[in-house]
Each structure stands twice: as C-alpha cells, then as structure tokens.
Amino acid sequence: MNDVLMPSVTAAAAPLAPVRRERSRRALIRPALGVAMLAIVAVFLWRAGKTIDWRVTWHTLQTVNPLWYGLALAAFWITFMVRTTRWRVLLGNAAILPPTTRQPVRFATVTTTMLRAWFLNAVTVGQLGDAYRAMTIAERAKARVSRVVGTILAERVSEVVILTVMLVPALISVFGKHLPISSFEMWSMIAAILVAGPTALLVGPRILVATSGRLPERIAGHVHDLAAGIEECLRPPLRVIGCSILVWSGETVTLFLVSRSIDIHLSIPQAAAIALMTALLTAVPVTPAGIGIAESGMVLMFSGIGLPLGTATALTILARSITFGSLVVVGGIGWLPALIMKRPSVVEPGIAD
C-alpha cells in the first residue's frame, strides 16, 4: 500500500517545490536588505564617530533639564493616543464592530493592541506588529483579517502622504536648496509619494475588486474585503486627516521640547523638518524602528542647521530615548499581562491524582 501511495504523493508535491523555493527566496530578501543597510549605517557611524567630540556629547547629556524632557515624553505619548484614536475611527468607518455591541471596539482594547503592536514593530523587522493588531482586532470584532488589514494599509499610506505634504514647506523654509541629503533623490522620493499614495488609495480598491473576479472564490472574498477595508475606512476623510496632522504636529513638538531640555533653541520649522524627515526615512521598515537610519539622518540634519557634531549626537540620543527607548519599555510592560496569563500553572505532586 505504501509503495502505491508514495509515487502519487511525490508527484503531487513536485509542483509545489518551485513555489516553496520562491517563498524561501522572498523570505530572505528583507533580512538581507536589513543587514546590508545596517552595514552601510555602521560604516557611516564609524566614520562619523571619529569626528564626533564625545566629551561634548557626554557633557551635553549631563545638562538635561528634567522638566523639558518630561514634557517631551508627555507630548510623545499624547501623540500615541491620537494614533490610537485615529485607528479606532478607521475601524468604525469600515464597520469592524463587535457583534455583541455593534459599537466601535473599546478604546482600551485598541490602545493595548496598538501598544503591543508598536513594541513588536520596534524590536522586529517586517512590521510584525501590524500583523498582530490585524489578527487581534479581527478576533475581537469577529471580522475578517483582510478587512482589518485594509484599515492598516489605508492608515499607513494616508499618514505618509500627509507627512510628506507637511514636510515640503518645512524643508523649503529651513534648508532651501541646501539639503544635507541629496536633493535629487529626496525630491524624487517626495514626488513619488505624493503621486503614488493618493493613487493607491483612490484607485487601488477598484483594481482589487476588478481582479478578484478572476481569482478562486475563497481568495476572492479576502481580496474584496481588503478593498472594502481600504475604501470604507477613509469615509469621511476629515477626521482621519485631522488626526494625522495632530500626530505629525505632536512629533514636531516632541523634538522641539527635547531640544529645549539641553538649551538648544530649535525653531518650529526646524523641529518639523527634522522630525518629519526622520519619520519619512524610516517609513520603510528595513531595520527595527529604523535603528541606525533614523540616528544617522538626525545627526546629519542637525549638523546641517549648524549644530556641532557632539551636540547633534547628544540631541539625537535624547530624542531617540523617547521615540524608541520609552516605546520599548512601556510596550514591554504592555505585554506582561498577556505573558503572565499564558504561563502554565504549576501543579504540586499528588494534587492531580
């Protein structure tokens, strides 16, 4: 019997081999790209590190004003709550509602999910946190994961478009034609985002619906839900746009307050240009939380407005201690209840008998 079945099993598995190899190849692309980027950043930091006066950096860090730093920390976490509110609005617009209440998912649930997702995004490559929040909310609301993924895609694309729109006047105001980063590549990227982003949001769902009819029924349903999630969650768009403007304004205020904590008086346009440019550089998750890329870009731009390298490095460390360090700490704490609840109970000998 086994001799009869073995050839048929082998024959059935043979067509899958190329697919598996292709998936394995794709799975290696992002880590390889991340390693390459980290290597480039490491070389840059090594070369820059030889020119940084680390005594100035250390001295500057010792002069931090706790009040200004605390205000910056508060501004960052208020911005996080605005992000949570925005996603809750998107979920409600897309009719992703728990069947028991038919009301938007509870704010506390969305907040906890967002916090844990942000932590995962900060310590992993590939935006695993977004996959986590899609599956978590889909389970809570008894909705299809693909529909929730549609709201996340719409959130990501729309916030990058609004970020870019806010960034352009700030860059022109602060740097003019003297960007510390290559002007041609920078403006090309900005132009691509401003064209591709709105096009993807407006035309993408229609293309997905049109192509879903050619797919197997099981897959077509998920594609249709994905398109519906993208399209419906942005209606009406004003609240979502308003929240995104508040988010990026909050990032600007955070950097402005951090600079004041070490008696550096950045202007609002300067804080906006550097905070938003850093966010844009890390929009593609090549490294966890943009580690290396964000710091290099910030030091470069701080130097571009006239700060000494030692001072620019100190300001970068302080800013990232909030946007990355506090996120890892608070997000890690946010995971503790889930880890404790899943811990297997210890049964003493003889009790189970």
Domain spans, the chain: 53-332
C-alpha R_g of the chain? 24
Q: Which of 242, 209, 246, 202 is nearest to 224 (CA)?
A: 209
Give the predicted TM-score (pTM) of the model: 0.81
295 close to 316: Cβ distance less than 8 angstroms: yes
SS3 of 104, please? coil
SS3 of 325, please? helix
Give the number of other Cβ atoms within 10 Å of residue 104's Cβ. 18
Percent of the chain with pLDDT over 70: 79
Q: What is the pLDDT along the chain (353 residues), one digit of tens a residue?
A: 444 444 444 444 444 444 344 444 544 555 555 555 556 555 555 555 556 888 999 999 999 999 999 999 999 999 999 999 999 999 999 999 877 667 778 899 999 999 999 999 998 877 889 999 999 999 988 899 999 999 999 999 999 999 999 999 999 898 876 666 666 777 888 899 999 999 999 999 999 989 888 888 888 989 999 999 999 999 889 999 999 999 999 999 999 999 999 999 999 999 999 999 999 888 877 788 888 888 888 998 998 899 999 999 999 999 999 999 999 999 999 998 877 876 544 444 443 33
Summarised one tens digit per residue, pLDDT across range 56-103 is: 999 999 999 999 999 999 999 999 999 999 999 999 999 998 776 677
SS3 of 51, please? coil
Tokens 């986590």 locate to 132
> How far apart are alpha carbons 238 and 213 in whole angstroms?
32
> How far apart are alpha carbons 211 and 45 in whole angstroms?
46
Overall size of the chain counted in residues: 353
Q: Which of 318, 315, 289, 284 is nearest to 302 (CA)?
A: 315
Summarised one tens digit per residue, pLDDT across range 281-321 is: 888 777 888 888 888 889 989 988 999 999 999 999 999 99
332 close to 118: Cβ distance less than 8 angstroms: no
